[in-house]
Amino acid sequence: MWRAAPDPDDGDLSQRALAGEEAAFTQLAARHKVWLFRFIRRYVGNDDDALDLLQDSLVATWLALHQYDTSRPFHAWLRQIALNKCRDWTRRNLLRGIVRYVSGDLDLFAAEARRSNPEVMLNDSQSLRRLDQAIAALPPHLREPLILTVFEGLSNRETAAQLNASEKAVETRLHRARKRLAKVIVKSDLSLVIEGSPP
């Protein structure tokens, strides 16, 4: 009986890509882009920026592929690259906001502040969008462990390793993140989403 050959693992594909086989990297990117997009979208809160950051992350992955240690899970390495891109995006947006404020563009600054206001989020008709915005409004040190554990399914230990923090710090940040989200969505049906998520 004929059997199809098993799909190559990530390490094999990365080595083939390094050897110049472009189709191997295409296959690697296709294998991971759906969950990676979801991860980034949770961080930034919208599709457009998430798509841009997905592309940036994949380009950075291609350029740094020679640094990948095949003894480590590829998805963890790829997630770290995306996380760094998301952090850069947050810093750039913060800097833009400060520059606009200092330069006197107060109307634009106020409009951006309103977009991240929890009361505005609660008036949105789409639960998923409200949740994404509520998470994106969290400060990075609370947002990152929440996304990694609740939405990416990492354990507290794996999250601590990913963020270069202690497990206790992860637990504390998760508690604070959930508390902040609870305030935003206390009267919303989104509370069911958070309460039903894995710890």
Longest dimension (CA), the chain: 74
Top pLDDT among 188 and 19 is at: 19
DSSP-assigned letters across all residues of 56-119: HHHHHHHHTGGG--TTS-HHHHHHHHHHHHHHHHHHHHHHHHHHHHHTT-HHHHHHHHHHT-HH
Mean per-residue pLDDT for 56-73? 92
Task: Tell me the C-alpha distance between 155 and 72, whole Å.
Answer: 17
CATH class of 118-199: mainly alpha
Percentage of residues in the chain having pLDDT higher than 90: 44
Top pLDDT among 131 and 72 is at: 72
Q: Does domain 28-115 have CATH number 1.10.1740.10?
A: yes
pLDDT digits (tens, 9 = 90+) for 98-117: 444 444 443 444 444 444 44
Lowest mean pLDDT among 85-89, 91-95, 105-109, 156-160: 105-109
| Domain ranges within the chain, ordered by starting residue | 28-115, 118-199
| Whether the predicted pLDDT of 15 surpasses 70 | yes
Q: How confident is the model at residue 27 (pLDDT cuts 50, 70, 90)?
A: very high
Task: Tell me the C-alpha distance between 36 and 83, whole Å.
Answer: 10
Q: Within 13 A of 23's CA, how many CA atoms are on the CB side?
A: 1
* Predicted local confidence at residue 149, as pLDDT: 86
Q: Three-class SS of residue 157? A: helix
Mean per-residue pLDDT for 71-91? 91
